[in-house]
Chain A
Amino acid sequence: MTFVGEQRLATQEQRIIDAALRCIARWGIAKTTLDDVARQASCSRATIYRLFPGGKDALLEATVQAELARVFSELSRRLDEAGDNFEELVVAGITCAAQELASHEALQFVLAYEPEVILPRVAFKQADRLLSVVTAFAAPYLARHVGEEEAPRAAEWLARIVLSYTLAPATGVDVRDESSVRRLVRTFVLPGLVHHQQVRQ
């Protein structure tokens, strides 16, 4: 019974989070009100306050966490599909991450019109936190290939590539496109990862 109850709660939280994402994609973070989200989710403001005590800030934080979890689970799926082939793993990881970022309408709206909200989290020292979250996720996948010790740095490297090419698109490189990523990976990344492996040995 408890389980069913939690599931239902989780579903309603998710519906509110989805509504918040749709509002942000349309109006941005500053202009989105809890009334907007409530209307979009077909629930009352009171319900939102009950599920996210603290109101808008709490809802935003929960939305970020939920989206990170969703993207990581999508990444896991793609990385598992890539199997044991190292090149496939690296190409799938970069491509999938870049596609998730590019197709994320709420994120793209905020980056375009409210960059001051996001950039403090992805620049200079603050980026260490983001990099370490991504690294903690990706390192175990790389450990089989480059060893436990080198895996975190290798994972961080791939995260830097996704961030750089996503925030400042290059001419001739499209990190959302698998064949473009494969070329980038074969040219600049695999030789260095092999080098990481050699350093270990």
Chain B
Amino acid sequence: MPEDLTVRERILEAGYACVARYGLAKTTVEDVARAAKLSRATLYRQFPGGRDQLLREVITWETGRFFGRLAEAVAGALDFAGLLEEALLFAHRAIEEHDVLQKILVTEPERLLPQLTVESERVLVFIRRFLVPYLEREELRPGVEAEEAADYVARMLLSFIGTQGRWDLTDPEQVARLVRTELLAGVLA
């Protein structure tokens, strides 16, 4: 099994490199096999659904890596508000600087976005689980439960990470104000 995991990881990494180079529409199973230095048969063994499954899982894999990096980046925050501020600053920058994402959003958004919307359910669960322990340590406003607050905050985080709207999420002062008002005013006591 561990060997299988390594093979899988190698394929996903190669798949990601191919998507970065050729885009989602043009990446083939042959491209990925060549990049991973594996046979097509090995790829099909790992991804019986072929190209569609492989590309879906590449997107899931990179989304997971992105939010893993985000979680790591904010792990040292002093308090909950500080954690959310760092999360917004980091994630906004990371999205802007994510060359593969930015390229595909311009060239083939119609192929990526349906999948990312499906992913967003999974991402919401991930962020919620990440936030709950922090919320349980904070004093919440009367009547507010950690779980529902985590869901609300996760949604707002995701919304702002994707689209900054009227806020400037490169400006720490604005981010601090955003967190105090729209994210936490109803959550923390």
Instruction: Tell me how many residues of A have a C-beta within 8 Å of chain B.
Output: 39
| Interface positions of A from 133 to 173, Cβ below 8 Å from B | 135, 152-153, 156-157, 160-161, 163-165, 167-168, 170, 172-173
Across-interface contacts of A187 in B (CB, < 8 A): 141, 143-144, 148, 152, 186
A127: contacting residue among B95, B162, B187, CB under 8 A: B162
User: In the complex, which residue of chain B has the Cβ closest to the Cβ of A125?
Assistant: B163
A160-191 contact mask (Cβ, 8 Å, vs B): 1 or 0:
11011101101011000000000010011111
Across-interface contacts of B181 in A (CB, < 8 A): 192, 195-196, 199
Across-interface contacts of A195 in B (CB, < 8 A): 180-181, 185
Q: Are B148 and A172 in contact (CB under 8 A)?
A: yes
Q: Are B152 and A135 in contact (CB under 8 A)?
A: no
A165 to B120, CA, bound (A): 12
Q: How far is the CB of A136 from chain B (nearest CB, A)?
A: 11
Q: How far is the CB of B114 from chain A (nearest CB, A)?
A: 4
A102-138 contact mask (Cβ, 8 Å, vs B): 1 or 0:
0000000000000111011001111110011001000
User: In the complex, which residue of chain A has the Cβ closest to the Cβ of B183?
Assistant: A192
Does A43 belong to the interface (CB within 8 Å)?
A: no
Does A194 belong to the interface (CB within 8 Å)?
A: yes
Does B7 belong to the interface (CB within 8 Å)?
A: no
A30 to B152, CA, bound (A): 36
A196 to B109, CA, bound (A): 35
Q: Are B187 and A188 in contact (CB under 8 A)?
A: yes
A188 to B187, CA, bound (A): 7
User: In the complex, which residue of chain A has the Cβ closest to the Cβ of B95?
Assistant: A124
Interface of chain A, helix or strand or loop or mixed? helix
User: Given contacts A187-B144, A190-B186, A196-B181, are A119 and B113 in contact (CB under 8 A)?
Assistant: yes
Q: Are B186 and A116 in contact (CB under 8 A)?
A: no
User: Given contacts A187-B143, A195-B180, are A119 and B159 in contact (CB under 8 A)?
Assistant: no
Q: Are A116 and B111 in contact (CB under 8 A)?
A: yes
Q: Are A124 and B162 in contact (CB under 8 A)?
A: yes
User: In the complex, which residue of chain B has the Cβ closest to the Cβ of A124?
Assistant: B162
B125-161 contact mask (Cβ, 8 Å, vs A): 1 or 0:
0000000000000000101100011011001101110
Q: How far is the CB of A125 from chain B (nearest CB, A)?
A: 7
Q: What are 17 A-B residue pairs whose CB atoms fall within 8 Å in the complex?
A: A116-B113, A116-B114, A119-B109, A119-B117, A120-B109, A124-B162, A126-B109, A128-B164, A160-B160, A163-B159, A168-B121, A173-B148, A187-B143, A187-B144, A188-B149, A192-B182, A195-B181
| Residues of chain A at the chain B interface (Cβ within 8 Å) | 115-117, 119-120, 123-128, 131-132, 135, 152-153, 156-157, 160-161, 163-165, 167-168, 170, 172-173, 184, 187-192, 194-196, 199
Q: Which 5 residue pairs across A and B have the least CB separation, nearest first?
A: A116-B110, A192-B185, A119-B113, A188-B186, A191-B186
